[in-house]
Amino acid sequence: MTTAAFMTLGCKVNQFETETMEGLFRKAGYEIVPFTERADVYIINTCSVTMLGEKKSRQLIRRARRENEDALIAVTGCYAQLAPEIIAQLPGVRLVVGTKDRARIVELVEEAAKADGVVREVGDIMHADTFEDIPLFSAPERTRAFLKIQEGCQNFCTYCIIPYTRGPLRSRPIESIRREAEKLLKAGFREIVLTGIHLGAYGRDLEENVTLADAAAAVLEFPELKRLRLGSLESIELSPELFALIRSDKRFARHLHLPLQAGSDAILKTMNRHYTAEEFSKLLEKVRAEVTGVAITTDIIVGFPGETEELFEEGLAFSAKQGFARMHVFPYSRRPGTPAAKMSNQISQTEKKDRVHRMQTLADSMAEKFHESFLGETADVLFETETDGIIDGLTDTYIRVYTDARLPLGEIAQMKLTKLYKDGVWGVPV
């Protein structure tokens, strides 16, 4: 039997896409083996959000070649879409596929195996007009299932390459979402996470006049579902219908990831973000008024071009007032091909490192305060992994709970949260 190994870099959407490709290979009779083992085919799903992501992609290609010089190496994803000629020149690469045509990945690999040279299957993504609907043919070994329902972005933030690698907005039809959700639930998943490149824009391209709330409602139709969670959203895209759904169905996780990116109006404007700091703060007030006990997590970029010490302090102070449950802090990464990369007032690596440390210190303090507010309470926890006799999982508010109790993975248990522990809290069964 021919063997295939996969490796994924980047976001949850990439992870979902790799899982669908794995399923296609299994269906075609391939044996899936770990990437660290010798395989006949290596498929590397790349990331191009940062230059580091591209560097790691090239390292993985070299690593696959060291494992088996005769292997067919196929490279797909955002980096492949952006720089197919560069990737095609790397030793061992026989197939380059961009961010579409993954439904044909097995066919393309087998075509490349017979061809002389490198097969390139990278078209103009800016002309893509339909969602690539690839069913999931195998169940990954996890308790949470990612269900991609949307592709593409047209926000064109000045620091981001994604609109150029993913193309325009495309949405998965509601009926396809229902079919895939039913399949995931039959496979034993208890929680489904709806994901997309620009998730809040779901439905804008469809004639059916549907929204993200409709997509969520379609998944909630299944009584087997224990929890529904949303991926990253823009705060300005939250709708009254979505709030009503979260309030009315206890299975809808009270957790929203709303990227702020910067707490200074001057930097937000330079980033081409479509809100002010004050507008973002008011939106958070509205979210908390609509959904009692909601956990709001966010992303922050520090060291953006033009960010003076005064502007950084302004953003730090603003972030401290927002009561985030968790902040993911990133140093600005200069990405060729984006407007921000051409800006003259770049920040030094030393200064970015210092600002990341200061913002991360705030993030750690806010997370601890958020976790402390739940001590003594009970919460439903979906347990996912086990290490050295300790199992852990997540509450609907995205708090990681650890326990040494003997509880089944993949099931939800009611736990009393007793003390802070690692990056979350310790729990005991109720």
Average pLDDT over residues 128-139: 76
**What domains lie within the chain, and their CATH numbers?**
3-123 (3.40.50.12160), 378-429 (2.40.50)
pTM (predicted TM-score): 0.89
Q: How confident is the model at residue 312 (pLDDT cuts 50, 70, 90)?
A: very high
pLDDT at 135: 74
Candidate from 119-123, 218-222, 421-425 with smallest mean pLDDT: 119-123
Does the pLDDT of residue 195 top 70, yes or no? yes
Q: How confident is the model at residue 126 (pLDDT cuts 50, 70, 90)?
A: confident
pLDDT at 228: 97
Does the pLDDT of residue 71 top 70, yes or no? yes
Measured between alpha carbons, how far is 121 from 38 in angstroms, rounded to an integer?
25
Does the pLDDT of residue 291 top 70, yes or no? yes
Measured between alpha carbons, how far is 386 from 377 in angstroms, rounded to an integer?
23
Average pLDDT over residues 333-346: 94
What is the token pair recorded at 94?
Answer: 């026989």
Measured between alpha carbons, how far is 301 from 259 in angstroms, rounded to an integer?
10
CB atoms within 10 A of CB 56: 18
What are the tens digits of pLDDT across the range 271-287?
A: 999 999 999 999 999 99
What is the token pair recorded at 249?
Answer: 């169905």
Residue 305 per-residue DSSP state: T
- With a pLDDT cut of 70, the percent of the chain lying above it is 98
- Could you give the strand order of the β-sheet that contains 191-196, starting from the edge strand earlier in sequence? 170-171, 144-151, 191-196, 227-230
pLDDT at 140: 59
- With a pLDDT cut of 90, the percent of the chain lying above it is 87
pLDDT at 134: 78
Does the pLDDT of residue 332 top 90, yes or no? yes
Return the CA Rg of the chain.
Answer: 22
pLDDT at 131: 85
Q: Of 198, 213, 372, which is closest to residue 290 (Cα–Cα)?
A: 213
What are the tens digits of pLDDT across the range 350-404?
A: 999 999 999 999 999 999 999 999 999 999 999 999 999 999 999 999 999 999 9
What are the tens digits of pLDDT across the range 206-264?
A: 988 999 999 999 999 999 999 999 999 988 889 999 999 999 999 999 999 999 999 99
Q: How confident is the model at residue 133 (pLDDT cuts 50, 70, 90)?
A: confident
Of the two residues 136 and 385, the one the predictor is more confident about is 385
Q: Of 204, 203, 249, which is closest to residue 229 (Cα–Cα)?
A: 249
Q: 91 CB contacts (<8 Å, ≥6 apart)?
A: 62, 65
Does the pLDDT of residue 267 top 70, yes or no? yes
Average pLDDT over residues 309-337: 96
Measured between alpha carbons, how far is 138 from 127 in angstroms, rounded to an integer?
30
Question: Please, are residues 347 and 304 in contact by the beta-carbon 8 Å criterion?
Answer: yes
What is the token pair recorded at 382?
Answer: 């979906």
Does the pLDDT of residue 123 top 90, yes or no? no
Q: How confident is the model at residue 129 (pLDDT cuts 50, 70, 90)?
A: confident
Q: How confident is the model at residue 128 (pLDDT cuts 50, 70, 90)?
A: confident
Average pLDDT over residues 32-56: 93
Helix (H) or strand (E) holding 90: none
Average pLDDT over residues 148-176: 95
Residue 59 per-residue DSSP state: H
pLDDT at 415: 98
